[in-house]
Amino acid sequence: MRRGPVLVVMLPFLLSACGSGSTPSGSASPTAADGPAWVNVEPGRPTSSAVSKYTGTPRPGLPPVSFLPTSSACAVAWNEDVGRVFIPMIVTVGRGSLTVQWPNRFGNRYRVAAVPQELVSGAQPEPQWQTVTTGAECTAGTTISGLKSGAAYVVWLDAPDTPRGLDGSRGLYSGRSQIVQPN
């Protein structure tokens, strides 16, 4: 006969019975100097949540905390899938142009191209890459102009300065938009 599982199931009930019926005396309750107050739990009575108070001063010996900038550009909710390798982009159409924005965390040099989607027989033309150099801002962006109004394009984004592997290969950090048409 096995008694191990029964003992494990009964153990919480046995331990809770040890403290029932007793209440702490006035002299045993903690004071502010002792630390946070105890939370008393009584069967059938609501129990308030324990609240810890932060005074705003760091503990001695800890370094000061500095927070990242909170500009509106940093607050963009980028739609990033963990399993995908694409850099997310926001493409805004303009009159004969496309404005492209992306998070600035894949190096400080990017290449952007608006690739025409019209059918071409024979060899496909090379994309006209535009190089964008960024600083420390949260988002990067550029405007691609000189496009045909109403023509279909896909915006490609490449981050050539991403880290390389031991074999010299570069991880595929790229972005691609849906089909967009300038006004």
CATH of the domain at 125: 2.60.40.10
Asked if the structure places residue 109 within a domain, the reply is yes
Please provide the average confidence, as pLDDT, over all residues in the chain.
Answer: 75
pLDDT beyond 60 at 171: yes
Residue 172 near residue 85 (C-beta atoms within 8 A): yes
pLDDT beyond 90 at 61: no
Asked if the structure places residue 176 within a domain, the reply is yes
Average pLDDT over residues 8-25: 55
Rounded distance, CA 113 to CA 126, Å?
A: 10
> 66 in helix, strand or coil?
coil
> What pTM does this model have?
0.56
Among 52-56, 136-140, 155-159, the least confident range: 52-56
Asked if the structure places residue 47 within a domain, the reply is no
Asked if the structure places residue 14 within a domain, the reply is no
pLDDT of residue 96: 95
pLDDT of residue 64: 56
Asked if the structure places residue 50 within a domain, the reply is no
SS3 content of the chain, % helix, strand, coil (to 5): 10, 25, 65
Domain residues for 96?
90-180
Rounded distance, CA 108 to CA 99, Å?
A: 18
Asked if the structure places residue 77 within a domain, the reply is no
pLDDT beyond 50 at 99: yes
Residue 45 is given by DSSP the state S
Asked if the structure places residue 140 within a domain, the reply is yes
Among 18-32, 64-78, 122-136, the least confident range: 18-32
Name the more confident of 42 and 111.
111
Please tell me the total count of domains within the chain. Answer: 1
